[in-house]
Amino acid sequence: MPRPAATAAAPPARKVPLRKLLRAASVACGVQFGWALQLSLLTPYVQELGIPHAFASLVWLCGPLSGLLVQPLVGHLSDRIAPAASPLGRRRPFIAAGAASIAAAVLTVGFSADIGRLFGDDITPGTTRLGAICVYLVGFWLLDVGNNATQGPCRAFLADLTENDPRRTRIANAYFSLFMALGNILGYATGAYSGWYWIFPFTVTPSCSISCANLKSAFLLDIIILVITTYITVASVQEPQSFGGDEAEHPGTEQEAFLWELFGSFRYFTLPVWMVLIVTALTWIGWFPFILFDTDWMGREIYRGSPDNPEATQSYHDGVRMGSFGLMLNSVLLGFTSVVLEKLCRKWGAGLVWGVSNILMALCFVAMLVITYVAKNMDYPPSGVPPTGIVIASLVVFTILGAPLAITYSIPYAMAASRVENLGLGQGLAMGILNLAIVIPQVIVSLGSGPWDQLFGGGNAPAFAVAAGASFIGGLVAILGLPRARIGSSRRRGGTHNR
């Protein structure tokens, strides 16, 4: 494909300073703030609206199904836009539009109970609110569309700015992971606190109880954080005018339809690319049950509460808040791991680091199964408060999982960026391809985890057993099939030294 004249005449670009890469990654904080609220509060919330636990996971199909097409499509479109076509370049318009979608979505989700009442919902506790559920599903779908439309171009934006330099790509993704950790800390801390409705007293309405108003207030805080971090990212640095690997596409792809180009690119994949996708898929089969049911597990199995039983509702919400606190601790370790991750990969190699982290995930999920068994067979005091040892053990497991989560947020993206770039595909399309290895397992888990849990009594333990098995297999595949060479080999040697 002939190189555009303007690009050929462009002078060599100076490397973007690391401080600007740091600012460019800051939008991850705002996006992850809302994502943390989504993970910690929305599974309990949909059950308050009347969706049974066995079908709660089906609600989360919105995310994987939208991500299946939205992120690859947005990445493809941002690859195709000329940098000079917009004052913001080709990636930042999508980042800004995605952030606006997230803001609209959290308002829709937060006020779904109030909107449902306008549609005639019966607001008696314990009843199914069909209007609110429909509004919630629309908002939830829009929220995941916004998340995918923001994160994919932001990852590609960072890859563009690092000019596919392996070390700088790792550092940029570590920055992104660090801001995700900060967003998680803020989001989970917000979810763990039950008094936000005092700041926004108008959120308490006849159709929205205190717990619902607290969720609504937390999402209003999310919008404030999102606006600030999106502005920092969009204003941080000008996009480069040439993108190396994005222009070196395979012959004939310029005029190909999007889906044909997306799936047609599979024929160019080498074994290292397939290994990255396989390990990513197994990793997310492990993560998604935890993401779906982490705070629900704390509320049900540890605190013995239930969102649809008035006598056990308070215990359930106490457990959800304790789970949010555990996820906040998880995010602290996530942030620390993000800081030291580059050194770990330099010393041991990315494949070994990723593999060991997956095995650590598996051990943590097994520990959750053990804790579930012990809690089920223990006598709780008359107050119903779980023994301190059980709560501490649960929090320790939540915290430890922050280390492999940091690796999941960083290493796969850096590996995909280098390996797919070496094939001559655009970075936006590369992030979309990696996203397929994330969302397809999520679809499978969303469809199967609820009925699978119900088959074994309705708890969360069966899904965690599947998560442990997938994580362990993924760890073995990463250790045996992904490169472990230390940094220092040739930059273009198939990416074997990259994260």
pTM: 0.69
β-sheet bridge partners, residue 208: 205
Mean residue pLDDT across the chain: 79
pLDDT in tens, 171-197: 887 888 889 889 888 888 887 787 888
What local confidence, expressed as pLDDT, does residue 365 receive?
A: 96
Kindly indicate the confidence band of residue 156, based on its pLDDT and cuts at 50, 70 and 90: confident
Calculate the alpha carbon distances from 286 to 308, 445, 469 in Å.
Answer: 28, 9, 8
Q: How far apart are CA 78 and CA 89, in angstroms?
A: 9
Contacts of 365 (CB under 8 A, 6+ apart): 286, 290, 464, 465, 467, 468, 471
What local confidence, expressed as pLDDT, does residue 485 receive?
A: 43
Determine the residue type at 179. F
pLDDT in tens, 338-387: 888 888 888 888 889 999 999 999 999 999 999 999 999 988 988 888 99
What local confidence, expressed as pLDDT, does residue 423 receive?
A: 60
DSSP string of 204-240, one letter each residue? -BTTB-HHHHHHHHHHHHHHHHHHHHHHHHHTT-PPP
Kindly indicate the confidence band of residue 94, based on its pLDDT and cuts at 50, 70 and 90: confident
Determine the residue type at 373. Y
pLDDT in tens, 485-494: 443 333 333 3
Q: Compute how many other C-beta atoms are within 10 angstroms of the C-beta atom of residue 428.
A: 31
Calculate the alpha carbon distances from 194 to 105, 205, 499 in Å.
Answer: 22, 16, 40
**Residue scoring higher pLDDT (433 or 487):** 433
Contacts of 29 (CB under 8 A, 6+ apart): 179, 180, 182, 183, 186, 225, 229
Residue 53 Cα to chain centre, angstroms: 22
Instruction: Return the percentage of the chain with pLDDT > 90, whole number.
Output: 20
Kindly indicate the confidence band of residue 13, based on its pLDDT and cuts at 50, 70 and 90: low
**Which residue, 25, 227, 45, 71, is CA-closest to 140?**
45
**Residue scoring higher pLDDT (489 or 303):** 303
Out of 198-202, 229-233, 319-323, 449-453, which region has the weakest mean confidence (pLDDT)?
Answer: 449-453
Overall average pLDDT of the 114-120 stretch: 86
Q: How far apart are CA 153 and CA 96, in angstroms?
A: 10
What local confidence, expressed as pLDDT, does residue 495 receive?
A: 37
Q: How far apart are CA 217 and CA 199, in angstroms?
A: 8
Residue 254 scores a pLDDT above 50: no
| 349 conformational bin, left if phi > 0, alpha if psi -120 to 50, beta if neither | left
Q: Compute how many other C-beta atoms are within 10 angstroms of the C-beta atom of residue 454.
A: 15
